[in-house]
Chain A
Amino acid sequence: MKRDALSPANWTPRTWAMAVGLAILALLPGYVELTGATFYLDLASRLMILGIAAVSLNLILGHGGMISFGHAAYLGIGAYSVGIPAYYEIHNGFIQIPIAVACSALFALITGAICLRTKGVYFIMITMAFTQMVFFAFVSIEEYGGDDGLVIEMRSEFAGLFDIEDATRLYYFIFASLLATLYLVHRITRSRFGMVIEGARGNERRMHAIGYDTYRYRLVCYVIAGAICGFAGALLGNFTNFISPEMMDWTASGELIFMVVLGGTGTLFGPILGAAAFVLLEEWLSAITIYWHFLFGALLILVVLFWRGGLYGLVDWIGRAAWRKRS
């Protein structure tokens, strides 16, 4: 029975979508090697980094019902955790990445402890406010470039064991990170902890009545999501070789929400599809028209109005329809 579920013959359309998506990402460097279209490597690297960030946001937004409008703060904190040590010529990733994760977790713990005492629109506003504070803090620190940002001269190297200076190697490093993130979040959402987070989204009052201090569970979830996104931020700093406060602009937080909602809230792979759609549309639409943000908005409205399940839900629906036709 367990083995059956793992055999491709019994995969659901969603599993297929994920498998195909990941296979494309895995094979892309080979294609780029053959065609020399390095541009796609860049695109996919960015897509995966934003995908990791969106997956982490989905953990609190989709699974936990905590609509954070400040998640980009962690992208910034993570990126600066690479950039600032690099500025002092500390390039060791074994130092930079733990700093990124720890600082993000700490920021999530402190701000989450306050934010999670509020609900609804207050929660949205206060998460946004905290991120704006970080934004302006980094704008005001001249040493690290202020709002001009700072170039990272050298990517993280891992104590001489390996480095990610080469674009393909960086790509695979990001790809492995993506797989690890998906697996981690998959486990967490199905665990006892995940059930409590899901339950607290569904009915917090009932969860209290059966004995859960939902605040504590939510706070831990908030910290986990922040830590993962901080890690994504460290990848982003390495990828762009550049850090600036703009990474945590409120529009960046909004874009992460866009990816989650477009891809499918509360699903494992949905946010990756959402990130892919975002990055690809941004690329293509911005080449066609300067009003591409408008088209984004229209797309989001359509999804929210007519397809709550997002792209991942759409895949499911198409898959099932095709299946019915066949049998």
Chain B
Amino acid sequence: MAQALLTVEDLYKSFGGVTATDHVDLQVIPGEIHAVIGPNGAGKTTLVAQLSGELRPEAGRVTFDGRVITNLPAHARARLGIARSFQITSLMLDMTARDNVALAVQAHAGHSFRFWADARRDRDLADTALVGLEEVGLADRADQTARIMSHGEHRLLEIAMALATKPRLLLLDEPMAGMGVEEAQRMIGFLAGLKGDKSMLLVEHDMDAVFALADRITVLVNGQVIASGAPDDIRRDEAVRRAYLGDEMVDASGSAD
């Protein structure tokens, strides 16, 4: 097996009585899309939050590119090359789409203790931001205030911002959440286009998306990993069927191959 980009060992986190992350082990190999699935409340978002640095685990270890990052704050992890999107859209709503992405570009371009030159006239920022918006198909919305954009556009903007920091690992928390069928299809196509280029940990409820994109799937239930492996193995796994997928889902995806 290739050297893992991200290694999670024995991660543990609880909220009061609820164990949200129960001794989770997981790896993301460079270039792969590793999907994490599980029912509502399984602890997927909590896991992402611990990987991105927003939450501290109570026990366990997170290693990124050979470096232990368990105690690094979120902004330091972002600088190492871990970017995330949020399940519930999280943007600077009063700024334009371009400014949102430009800020992400700027974050990647070194420190921002520059007090004099007009940032919006900085071609390096504005042009790179526009390229980022083009990639997700939002170029014509660049000067729109984020607040008035549609939900689907918000989801795309989330991705554009994450990509603008030139990450090596993308943590995507339900990027298709709340999208229409057509929009979701576009997003799947877009993520498929990034495959091989960017390593991803993809949390997703949409099984079509998961089976279309994932190289490996980890199934989380009540904070525990109940199965992890290739999509075909997961599809056939008894415990997964019982806990999560349900027969119709397996049938539906089974008939697809």
Considering only CB atoms and an 8 Å cut-off, how many residues of chain B contact the other chain? Answer: 40
Residue A297 at the chain B interface, CB threshold 8 Å: no
Of B24-32, B94-102, B191-199, the one with at least 4 CB within 8 A of chain A: B94-102
Q: Do B78 and A210 touch (CB < 8 A)?
A: yes
Nearest A residue to B77, CB-CB: A211
Specify which chain B residues have a CB less than 8 angstroms from the CB of A324 in the assembled complex: none
Nearest B residue to A191, CB-CB: B115
Q: Do A217 and B161 touch (CB < 8 A)?
A: no
Q: Do A205 and B115 touch (CB < 8 A)?
A: no
Residue A192 at the chain B interface, CB threshold 8 Å: yes
Task: Report the bound CA distance from A147 to B99 in whole Å.
Answer: 49
Residue from A192, A193, A194, A209 in contact with B84 in the complex, judged by beta carbons closer than 8 Å: A209
Task: Report the bound CA distance from A205 to B93 in whole Å.
Answer: 13
Q: Do B106 and A192 touch (CB < 8 A)?
A: yes
Residue B117 at the chain A interface, CB threshold 8 Å: yes
Q: Do A210 and B113 touch (CB < 8 A)?
A: no
How far does the Cβ of B172 sit from chain A's closest Cβ, in whole Å?
A: 12
Task: Report the bound CA distance from A195 to B94 in whole Å.
Answer: 12
Specify which chain B residues have a CB less than 8 angstroms from the CB of A206 in the assembled complex: 86, 90-92, 161
Q: With A187-B115, A187-B116, A191-B118 in contact, is A210–B93 under 8 Å at CB?
A: no
Q: Do B119 and A205 touch (CB < 8 A)?
A: no
Task: Report the bound CA distance from A47 to B241 in whole Å.
Answer: 73
Q: Do A193 and B90 touch (CB < 8 A)?
A: no
Residue B151 at the chain A interface, CB threshold 8 Å: no
Q: Do B108 and A203 touch (CB < 8 A)?
A: no
Specify which chain B residues have a CB less than 8 angstroms from the CB of A190 in the assembled complex: 118-120
Task: Report the bound CA distance from A220 to B78 in whole Å.
Answer: 21
Residue B46 at the chain A interface, CB threshold 8 Å: no
Residue A116 at the chain B interface, CB threshold 8 Å: no
How far does the Cβ of A247 sit from chain B's closest Cβ, in whole Å?
A: 29
Specify which chain B residues have a CB less than 8 angstroms from the CB of A213 in the assembled complex: 73, 75-76
Q: Do B104 and A210 touch (CB < 8 A)?
A: yes
Q: With A192-B106, A210-B104, A211-B107 in contact, is A203–B93 under 8 Å at CB?
A: yes
Specify which chain A residues have a CB less than 8 angstroms from the CB of B53 in the assembled complex: 208
Most buried by B among A192, A198, A202, A213: A192
Q: With A190-B119, A202-B93, A211-B165 in contact, is A195–B106 under 8 Å at CB?
A: yes
Residue from A192, A203, A210 in contact with B117 in the complex, judged by beta carbons closer than 8 Å: A192
Per the 8 Å Cβ criterion, residues 195-246 of B in contact with A are: none
User: CB-CB contacts of A206-229 with B at 8 A, as 1s and 0s?
Assistant: 111111111001001000000000
Residue from A202, A205, A209, A212 in contact with B112 in the complex, judged by beta carbons closer than 8 Å: A212
Q: Do B112 and A210 touch (CB < 8 A)?
A: no
How far does the Cβ of A170 sit from chain B's closest Cβ, in whole Å?
A: 29
Nearest B residue to A196, CB-CB: B112
Per the 8 Å Cβ criterion, residues 45-97 of B in contact with A are: 52-54, 73-76, 78-79, 83-84, 86, 90-95
Q: Do A192 and B112 touch (CB < 8 A)?
A: yes
Specify which chain B residues have a CB less than 8 angstroms from the CB of A207 in the assembled complex: 75, 92, 103
How far does the Cβ of B100 sit from chain A's closest Cβ, in whole Å?
A: 8
Specify which chain A residues have a CB less than 8 angstroms from the CB of B73 in the assembled complex: 208, 213
Residue A199 at the chain B interface, CB threshold 8 Å: yes
Task: Report the bound CA distance from A254 to B113 in whole Å.
Answer: 30
Q: Do B115 and A193 touch (CB < 8 A)?
A: yes
Q: Do B104 and A192 touch (CB < 8 A)?
A: no
Specify which chain B residues have a CB less than 8 angstroms from the CB of A209 in the assembled complex: 52, 54, 74-75, 78, 83-84, 86, 90
How far does the Cβ of B167 sit from chain A's closest Cβ, in whole Å?
A: 10
Q: Do A212 and B75 touch (CB < 8 A)?
A: yes
Task: Report the bound CA distance from A76 to B94 in whole Å.
Answer: 35
Q: With A205-B54, A206-B90 in contact, is A193–B165 under 8 Å at CB?
A: no
Residue B247 at the chain A interface, CB threshold 8 Å: no
Q: With A188-B115, A191-B114 in contact, is A196–B74 under 8 Å at CB?
A: no
User: CB-CB contacts of A102-140 with B at 8 A, as 1s and 0s?
Assistant: 000000000000000000000000000000000000000
Specify which chain B residues have a CB less than 8 angstroms from the CB of A195 in the assembled complex: 99, 102-103, 106, 112, 119
User: Would you mind naming 30 contact pairs between A and B with Cβ atoms under 8 Å apart?
Assistant: A187-B116, A188-B116, A190-B118, A190-B120, A191-B116, A191-B117, A191-B118, A192-B106, A192-B112, A193-B114, A194-B115, A195-B102, A195-B103, A195-B106, A199-B92, A203-B92, A207-B75, A208-B74, A209-B54, A209-B90, A210-B83, A210-B161, A210-B164, A211-B75, A211-B78, A211-B107, A211-B165, A212-B107, A213-B76, A217-B113
**Which 5 residue pairs of A and B lie closest in terms of their CB atoms, listed nearest first?**
A211-B78, A202-B92, A211-B107, A208-B74, A192-B114
